[in-house]
Chains A and B, each alone.
Chain A
Amino acid sequence: DSGVTQTPKHLITATGQRVTLRCSPRSGDLSVYWYQQSLDQGLQFLIQYYNGEERAKGNILERFSAQQFPDLHSELNLSSLELGDSALYFCASSVVGHLEETQYFGPGTRLLVL
């Protein structure tokens, strides 16, 4: 158990809908990352937050957004969903987000868009 929690574990929805994925980092970690794992793209970095502020963006679509709240939990919002958004979404956390730090991953949320 990494100490990172994600809810829900599974999500099934329809095209065009909007969903919110939630992540709670390990106690004491200030930095949160979101990753998407799909069969065709592999594991890709989406976005990083540090202490409530966006730090960096990766291959995140404009239909997707995220935020980190004062209690440090984070939410990833996916809107106007398409079939291709079906994937496993991971949240990870680290202490302050330095390059050499270990990122601890949650169990993931499996999203299926029908």
Chain B
Amino acid sequence: AQSVTQLDSHVSVSEGTPVLLRCNYSSSYSPSLFWYVQHPNKGLQLLLKYTSAATLVKGINGFEAEFKKSETSFHLTKPSAHMSDAAEYFCVVSDPYGSSNTGKLIFGQGTTLQVKP
């Protein structure tokens, strides 16, 4: 089965500094990987996804992630943090049902991003 591990439960950065949220995955095949964001008392919003095309994936709000198969990583980055980026971030992998092309999402435990003024 597929799994994801988010290496930091909490990350704190200053506004205007870079953001790095780390995620490692475990998969026996080429996975579909996603990053979702959850703002307080809100639903989940897709930031970006990787589905075996370009390894550097650009998402919304200036976020991007790089798929590194050799390191089984899919870290999320942003060059300059904004106060509005403060939220919970989830690294997610698709887990197929047997050999089918359908599956469910498996979520990491989440990383809380704090942005200090």
> How many residue pairs at the A-B interface have CB separations less than 8 Å?
59
Report Cα–Cα, A43/B86, bound state, in Å: 19
A99 touches B101 (CB 8 A): yes
B residues neighboring A (CB under 8 Å): 32, 34, 36, 42-46, 49, 51-52, 90, 94, 96-97, 101-110
A residues contacting B by CB (< 8 A) are 2, 4, 33, 35, 42-45, 48, 50, 55-56, 58, 90, 92, 97-100, 102-108
Nearest B residue to A1, CB-CB? B43
Instruction: Name which residue of chain B comes closest to A97, CB basis.
Output: B102
Interchain CB contact under 8 A, B32 and A105: no
CA distance A3 to B52 in the complex (A): 27
Report the separation of the CA atoms of residues A107 and B42 in the bound assembly, to the nearest whole angstrom.
6
Q: A42-B109, A56-B97 are in contact. Are A102 and B46 (CB under 8 A)?
A: yes
CB pair B105–A45 under 8 Å, yes or no, is: yes
Known interface pairs A90-B43, A107-B42; A100-B32 also in contact (CB < 8 Å): yes
Q: Which of A4, A50, A103 contacts B105 (CB 8 A)?
A: A103
Identify the closest chain A residue to B94 (Cβ): A99
Residue from the list B36, B102, B107, B109 in contact with A99, Cβ < 8 A: B102
